[in-house]
Amino acid sequence: MRHLYNILNPVLWCYFLICVTVVQNKADWGVTYTTAKICASNGSTVEMKCTYTYPAGYTVKEEFWCFQDDKDLKGNLDYKDRIQYNCTEKSCTMKMADLKWTDSREYRFRFITDKTEGKYTGVPGITLSITALQVEVTKIRVNESCTKAELKCKSSCTGDVSYVWLKNGKEVTEENPYITSLQFNDSICCALKGQGKYCSASLYPPKLPSVSVSPSAEIVEGRSVTLTCSSDANPAASYTWYKEDEPLPVGPEGVHHFTSISSEDRGNYFCKSENQYGQINSSPVFINVQCKYSSFIPKASLYFAC
């Protein structure tokens, strides 16, 4: 029995050393990401960062970011011109620009050493989600001088998300909801914090409307005439045409149409452009309706029919 123990003891001891060595080596390999999730706006730029460890006696030969296939993203035609690596001793950052909806997925860091068994991929990696930003109006009050509104920035991002509000292109607050007053020439949007350049669609009252009269040449009784009003606004504006102070029927896209204009239609016209953030009137346009000519014998004699 003692003879058998003497035989097995070195074997068991060797097995113990192998197990300990395996456990220790496994613990020596690792990748630590600064975050598990990133939510970013379409078209923006993000950075993914990590640090990594490996046992002594190895030399890192390659380091790169990849998908689940462990292939360097720089070999991917859709990514090679949009990503940059900045890797130093045991740390690596990937900068990705011009984000697309299809970029929403998991990204991993992988490094390869000078030894066959010396390869490691950090799993799980960083999950990137691309989002669109929306501004929701929760309260609003419109008066002649300005509009007071309570606005809320929304996205598909989950977890603790911070937003920033930009008014006329300048950051003003991180409050959400945000209460503000809007003048007719103001615009406002929201962005993810740190990505102010990539704002939601700006909201603003209508700008000064432009009006057109067609045909623009001499307007004669009985002809067809169209008045058109347009204005830059978001949300899109609705329009009302007025003769003096009397509202007129308006067709689609701010158009008022005379099928057969008469001398009674002569006068000043203007249009009002409005959305939920405000309203503004165009400059007036005067329509002068010329009388129709009629001819009698002798042909040289003419008279006005109106």
- pLDDT score for 146: 76
Q: Which two tokens stand for residue 219?
A: 């307007």
DSSP 66-118: E-TT--BGGGSTTTTTTEEEEEETTEEEEEE-S--GGG-EEEEEEEEESSTT-
pLDDT in tens, the chain (306 residues): 455 445 445 544 444 443 433 343 566 899 999 999 999 999 999 999 999 999 999 999 999 999 999 999 999 999 999 999 999 989 999 999 999 999 999 999 999 999 988 999 999 999 999 999 989 888 888 776 778 889 999 999 988 889 999 999 999 999 999 998 888 788 899 999 988 888 898 888 888 999 999 987 678 899 999 999 999 998 899 999 999 889 988 777 789 999 999 989 999 999 999 988 888 999 999 999 988 764 444 443 333 445
Q: What is the pLDDT of residue 140?
A: 83
Picking from 57, 58, 74, the residue whose alpha carbon sits closest to that of residue 66 is 74
Q: What is the structure's pLDDT at 297?
A: 40
Token pair 């008279």 is found at: 303
pLDDT given at position 279? 87
Alpha helices in the chain (DSSP H): 2-28
- Euclidean distance between CA atoms 206 and 19, whole angstroms: 74
Specify the pLDDT at position 293.
66
- Under DSSP, the state recorded for 252 is G
Sign of the dihedral defined by the CA atoms of residues 230, 233, 239, 245, in that order: negative
CA pair distance 278, 231, nearest whole angstrom? 12
Domains of the chain and any CATH numbers: 34-130 (2.60.40.10), 132-192 (no CATH), 210-293 (2.60.40.10)
The total of other beta-carbon atoms located within 10 Å of residue 203's CB is: 21
Residue 165 has phi, psi (to 5 degrees) of -105, 140
Secondary structure (3-state) at 174: coil
CA distance 174 to 40: 17
CA-wise closest residue to 107 among 128, 90, 135: 128
pLDDT for 25 equals 55
Residue showing tokens 């309706």: 289
End-to-end alpha-carbon separation of the chain, Å?
Answer: 135
The candidate with the shortest Cα–Cα distance to 191, out of 75, 41, 301, is 41
pLDDT at 277: 85
Q: What is the pLDDT of residue 217?
A: 61
* Res 6: pLDDT: 52
The CB density around residue 303, as the number of other CB atoms within 10 Å, is 9
Question: For residue 61, what pLDDT is reported?
Answer: 95
